[in-house]
């Protein structure tokens, strides 16, 4: 799956020899080094690796929240900057970060009111439709404190989808949830991905979560953050609880575990 360093396929998120160094009081921290990959359009890719291996840094580079120190990135045939200005990138963090004084529907609508709103010629999704899509029909007027942690993450996903982004970047969005809620949201997320056709890049340090969700898993190692291997997850969709019982599921999980142990 790894593309040569000088070219990336069109229609992908192309990472060409991406390096990121931070200059700190204690010296230079190399967060990413020589990261080269093509993440397919409309695909579901997970970044898996130990804490500190540069997963969040890589998402921030794709989202144009951080410039790489070396190398380049293109996002479906445009620069990250062009994609950000075009509101083509949605971002979901571990903490839903909802405004407590706004209802669910008002939180979902927020991106339409800030940062220039939706670019001309683009249609925003309806906030009500999005809340239905994430399973929160009927809770539109609830305030964040009236919602469970899982429900708040659903609102954050709906908010990230408001401008119909082509790319959805998710940084450990379910990391703070209990396992049962996480499993349920994983199933929901796959349905949303298939209904919207968006390109998902999903960060996790959970092996079962990466296997369950992804078409491919980018296994990373730390210090410096590098790609160790890209593993195709050849399990059929739609996936559900029976997927976790498949022998291939355990085999893939065990393969990822071995790769992580070597890193």
Ligand X SMILES: Nc1ncnc2c1ncn2[C@@H]1O[C@H](COP(=O)(O)OP(=O)(O)O)[C@@H](O)[C@H]1O
237 near ligand X (CB under 6 A): no
Q: How far is the CB of 77 from ligand X (least distance, A)?
A: 26
Cα dist. 217→147, 174, 183, 204 in Å?
Answer: 32, 17, 18, 10
Q: Does 51 bind ligand X (CB under 6 A)?
A: yes
Q: Cis link prior to 224 (omega < 30° from 0)?
A: yes
CB of 172 to Mg ion, least distance (A): 6
Shortest Cβ 179–ligand X spacing (Å): 21
How far is CA 135 from each of CA 141, 171, 237, rounded to the nearest angstrom? 14, 21, 20
Residue 46 within binding range of Mg ion, rule CB under 5 A: no
Query: For ligand X, which stretch binds (CB under 6 A), given 47-55, 118-126, 237-245, 249-257?
Result: 47-55
Are 76 and 65 in contact, with CB atoms under 8 Å apart? no
**Using rule CB under 6 A, residue 27 touches ligand X:** no
- Residue 44 to residue 68: CA distance in whole angstroms: 23
> Residue 6: which of Mg ion, ligand X, none does it interact with, CB under 5 to 8 A by kind?
none
**Per rule CB under 5 A, count of chain residues that contact Mg ion:** 1
Which range, of 23-31, 50-58, 67-75, 140-148, touches Mg ion by CB under 5 A?
Answer: 50-58
**3-class secondary structure per residue, 157-190:** HHHHCCCCCCEEEEECCCCCCCHHHHHHHHHHHH
Among 18, 31, 169, 231, binds ligand X (CB under 6 A): 31
**Concatenated DSSP letters of 106-119:** HHHHHHHHSTT-SP
Question: How long a stretch of residues is the chain?
Answer: 263
Interaction partner, residue 29 (ligand X, Mg ion, none; CB < 5-8 Å by kind): ligand X
Nearer to ligand X, 151 or 169 (CB): 169
Residue whose CB is less far from ligand X, 125 or 153: 153
Distance (Å, whole) CA 196 – CA 192 = 6
175 binds ligand X (CB under 6 A): no
Per the DSSP assignment, residues forming a β-bridge with 27 are 24
Task: Mark 54-83 with x for binding to Mg ion (rule: CB under 5 A) and - for no binding.
Answer: --x---------------------------
C-alpha 109/C-alpha 131 separation (Å) is: 11
Q: Which residues bind ligand X (CB under 6 A)?
A: 22, 24, 29, 31, 49, 51-57, 225
């Amino acid at each position: 799956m790894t593309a040569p360093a000088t070219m990336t396929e069109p229609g992908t998120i192309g990472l060409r020899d991406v390096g990121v160094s931070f200059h700190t009081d204690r010296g230079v921290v190399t967060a990413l080094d020589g990261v080269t990959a093509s993440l397919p359009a409309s695909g579901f890719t997970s970044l898996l690796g130990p804490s500190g291996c540069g997963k969040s840094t890589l998402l921030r580079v794709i989202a144009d929240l951080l410039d790489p120190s070396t190398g380049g990135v293109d996002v479906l045939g445009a620069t990250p900057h062009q994609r950000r200005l075009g509101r083509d990138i949605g971002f979901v963090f571990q903490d839903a970060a909802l405004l407590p004084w706004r209802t669910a529907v008002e939180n979902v609508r927020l991106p339409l009111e800030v940062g220039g709103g939706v670019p001309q010629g683009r249609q925003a999704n309806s906030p009500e439709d999005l809340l239905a899509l994430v399973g929160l029909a009927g809770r539109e007027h609830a305030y964040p404190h009236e919602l469970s942690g899982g429900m708040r993450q659903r609102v954050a996903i709906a908010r990230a989808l408001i401008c119909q982004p082509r790319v959805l970047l998710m940084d450990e969005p379910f990391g703070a949830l209990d396992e049962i809620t996480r499993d349920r949201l994983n199933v929901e997320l796959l349905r949303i991905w298939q209904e919207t056709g968006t390109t998902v890049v999903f960060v996790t340090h959970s092996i079962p979560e990466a296997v369950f969700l992804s078409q491919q898993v980018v296994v990373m190692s730390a210090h410096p953050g590098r790609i160790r291997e890209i593993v195709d997850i050849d399990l059929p969709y739609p996936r559900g609880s029976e997927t976790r019982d498949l022998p291939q599921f355990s085999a893939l999980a065990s393969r990822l575990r071995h790769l992580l142990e070597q890193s």
